Structure 1
């Protein structure tokens, strides 16, 4: 998800990514924020999510009972320069996001850097949750975008009917070739449908 965003080769400059619940970990929330992107997943279990506070002694009013965890700001401060270095490496493409996330999560005892990114993610996730719960239009916008994505996936599944739609190549390069070809054909279908539907509307206008 993050790797696709950073390595996309288009003229687009997305600032917000909407996805389903999968992959919405503290690490991902942290990396998105550090890279300047808004991560907006549709959380199936938002009611069970943990809210984090910055001050364990502060009174957060009606949110006091919700904010059960306390962010360790000292970890963020200690690792700030390292997090900036990692963010720059991701932006420049010298480090792949999938490799970084894998290395951060592979140990049962997270490194200082991993812990700091998690703390940043908890801050970002809490702000996101507050917005998600409070703003109906925000929730509707996320759902609308996800429905569009699901529609495109349905088209891709219909196109990729050979070998029961399975990606059979064993190595990453071969899989990327297959997925790239599928993406090209899918985009061509979407473009043709868009042009066709647009011309149909124009034809109806001319008839009137």
Structure 2
């Protein structure tokens, strides 16, 4: 069964089905418009140092870890996941989820924390017609950039770095167009391209050109960040959704003491895909029954404040038996629509 069905492509197809189903739930529209995504890495301890990708990251202690880098939508629907080394940078993987998913989600913006930030990601997202809106760490330490000399900005001159190189952008524009086209057409994964660009011992001129474009976009985003409190609120809210989803994933991954004991990267990827698929199934279940509970409140004439619906979350698991025996009773009572009856006690 594992050889036939538990493959990366089958997990990806199944996850896309669940993602679309979550987005189709009426209550999920209260969580977000369905156009934003956020990506975040979550560390999992390994069974030993011999497992693929295992590395000691001082941030997580002395034991070797791998990270699962997961992308979700603003409706909490998981889109994509990949296993990366515990010490690997997250920025080169930030684009894989928003560009590599198989769902019908129409995404226009991506949010990451500091680990997913790089000038090249800013450049690629802009050239793809997408918004990159991360939470940039140590923002006060980062320079702004422009095509004019810093002295042109008067009292703001100390905030600016060197003048941008217009010529290197123009000189590499055909190559940049090819790279962006390959990513858009999914001919190659973004992380593979970005990894190759960063692997050169000497600075690659194509990477330098992309970095110049990214500095333009990062400068414009930084100005928006200072001017728009609503932008800061949105970014923080979306990243909090990813952190909350990580808590659900941690609760699900209790098997083998929550450690990844698979020695091969392929098996680790399968385990990560299974974890993401399970969390998506729980999120869909919760969305379905949250919607039915709200409908029941309204049927009984109980006022429901629409603004409070956006504060609900489909990430709870207290009502789900994650451990012990899994029993599917044949005599389970279902209503006319095929659903389990709602609990009567919580309702007035």
Match of 2:133 in 1: 40
Deviation per CA, 1:9-59, whole angstroms, max 9, x where unpaired? 100121100110113111221222222221111122112121111111662
- Give runs of aligned pairs for residues 74-85 of structure 1, distance below 5 A: 74-85=167-178
| 1:106 counterpart = 2:199 | yes
**Distance in structure 2 (CA, Å) of the matches to 1:171 and 1:58:** 55
Match of 2:214 in 1: 121
Tell which deviates more after alignment, 169-178 or 125-134.
169-178
Gaps of 5+ in 2: 1-93, 302-348
- Give runs of aligned pairs for residues 125-164 of structure 1, distance below 5 A: 125-164=218-257
| 1:93 counterpart = 2:159 | no
2:150/2:161 contact within 8 Å kept: no
Tell which deviates more after alignment, 1-10 or 103-112.
103-112
Larger radius of gyration: 2
Give the CA deviation at 1:175: 2.4
**Distance in structure 2 (CA, Å) of the matches to 1:71 and 1:126:** 12
How many aligned residue pairs are there? 208
Gaps of 5+ in 1: none
**Distance in structure 2 (CA, Å) of the matches to 1:170 and 1:12:** 34
Tell which deviates more after alignment, 161-170 or 84-93.
161-170
Match of 2:283 in 1: 190
Give the CA deviation at 1:195: 1.8
Match of 2:159 in 1: 66
Normalising by structure 1, we get a TM-score of 0.93
Normalising by structure 2, we get a TM-score of 0.57
**Distance in structure 2 (CA, Å) of the matches to 1:10 and 1:167:** 27
Match of 2:121 in 1: 28
Distance 1:181 1:134, change over 3 A: same
SS in 2 for 1:70: coil
SS in 1 for 2:132: strand
**Distance in structure 2 (CA, Å) of the matches to 1:172 and 1:2:** 20
Tell which deviates more after alignment, 37-46 or 51-60.
51-60
